[in-house]
């Protein structure tokens, strides 16, 4: 469980670095986006036959899934202006 949270955090951070801009979420949202992005990206990549479990391409698909979720999150929850 802790491993999943740490990997989710790393994936969420990488997704945020690749998609610069103001985000309405903090540490917990970043972690959740990373975890759910990894699940979505991993499932999609394996279902499409792009790679098997444990291959490095899984990390890239996880980041792509997290970036998709981050994009959707930004569309539905705009950042507050100060």
pLDDT in tens, 46-68: 888 888 877 777 888 888 888 88
| 32 lies in some domain | yes
Give the pLDDT score at 78: 67
Work out how many domains the chain is built from and give that number.
Answer: 1
Quote the mean pLDDT of the chain. 81
| 69 lies in some domain | yes
Which residue range(s) make up the domain with 14? Answer: 2-19+27-76
| 82 lies in some domain | no
Predicted confidence band at 82 (pLDDT cuts at 50, 70, 90)? very low
| 80 has a pLDDT exceeding 60 | no
Q: Which own/partner pairs from 68-71 qualify as long-range (CB within 8 Å, at least 24 positions apart)?
A: 68/37, 68/40, 68/41, 69/15, 69/33, 69/36, 69/37, 69/40, 70/12, 70/15, 70/16, 70/19, 70/23, 70/33, 70/37, 71/19
| 81 lies in some domain | no
pTM over 0.85: no
| 79 has a pLDDT exceeding 80 | no
| 56 lies in some domain | yes
| 33 lies in some domain | yes
């Amino acid at each position: 469980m802790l491993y999943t949270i740490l990997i989710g955090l790393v994936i969420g951070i990488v997704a945020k670095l690749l998609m610069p801009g103001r985000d309405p979420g903090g540490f917990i949202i970043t972690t959740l986006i990373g975890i759910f992005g990894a699940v979505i990206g991993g499932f999609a990549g394996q279902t499409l036959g792009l790679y098997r479990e444990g291959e490095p391409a899984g990390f890239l698909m996880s980041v792509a899934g997290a970036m998709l979720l981050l994009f959707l999150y930004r569309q539905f929850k705009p950042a507050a202006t100060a």
